[in-house]
Amino acid sequence: MSEKIQKVLARAGFGSRRQIEQWIEGGRIRINRQTATLGDRINEGDAVEVDGKPVSAQRLYSANRRVLMYHKDVGTVCTRADPEGRHTVFNDFPKLRGSRWILVGRLDITTTGLLLVTTDGELANRLMHPSYELDREYLVRVLGKVDQAMLERLLQGVELEDGTAQFDSIVDMGGEGANHWYKVVIKEGRNREVRRLWESQGIQVSRLSRVRFGPILLPKSLRRGRCQDLDDQQITALCERVGLSHASAAKTTKNRRPKNPWSESANRKNGRYKHKRVRG
């Protein structure tokens, strides 16, 4: 069964579909030695090249999909490399071979909390697309006097410079003066949208942290600057929300590197080591 080239390459982790469409327009992709055009489809067995380098069939058609949750800290930026030398989220992700990490949206430099990252560009594209309306939940500390009329406007919708925006829900979490907290839910990810909504009412956001993305909650045990893999059940829940199927881990083990029978752990298990390891 044939599929569009940008969909296959996105799923293989080369980038989002939009990025790959730009690569096609720039002549960077070839199919069976012919420069690809938008709308081209491929089948298993077709030869695909990106920037003159062949792409293996295993990478194109492997069912192994990986998703991480990451706890972003203040001062960390969501770019692969920063010209100012600031710490980037990619510094904290595990290294990959034959694939790359793709961010599911971004958080600005002063925002903390949950960030999702995946090797599957198609999944990333759907999770970010506004048509799927995945809710994002934030904890917000505000400065300024908030009244009921203001909250109603934020729920009904206010006009920002890039269109109408609104919160799906607002819950008062308590506090006084400069330490008043709210929990808000929004169903899109425009740039600094949560902050801009509050600022439209003359309210300043002093702290902002994302605690949930769709069905995925940020665990309290996950420290800032750390990440962990989603389990198969969590990935399945994400995929179902955006209309994708997810092969179980058991089905993808054949694509993983076989365990080294002479590794230290295997040798211990098989009794090859008789002495305890001493750290110097």
Active-site residue list: 108
162 burial (CB, 10 Å; 0-12 / 13-18 / 19+) is exposed
Dist. CA 241–CA 103, nearest whole Å:
18
Q: Which residues contact 53 (CB under 8 A, 6 or more apart)?
A: none
CB burial of 74-92 (b: ≥16 within 10 Å; e: otherwise) equals eebbbeeeeeeeeeebbeb
CA distances from 28 to 4, 25, 240 (A): 16, 8, 32
Question: Among 274, 233, 271, which residue's Cα sits nearest to residue 250?
Answer: 233
- The helix or strand, by DSSP H or E, that contains position 239, with its residue range, turns out to be helix 232-241
197 burial (CB, 10 Å; 0-12 / 13-18 / 19+) is buried
Rg (CA), the chain: 23
User: Could you identify the residue written with the tokens 């009412």?
Assistant: 201
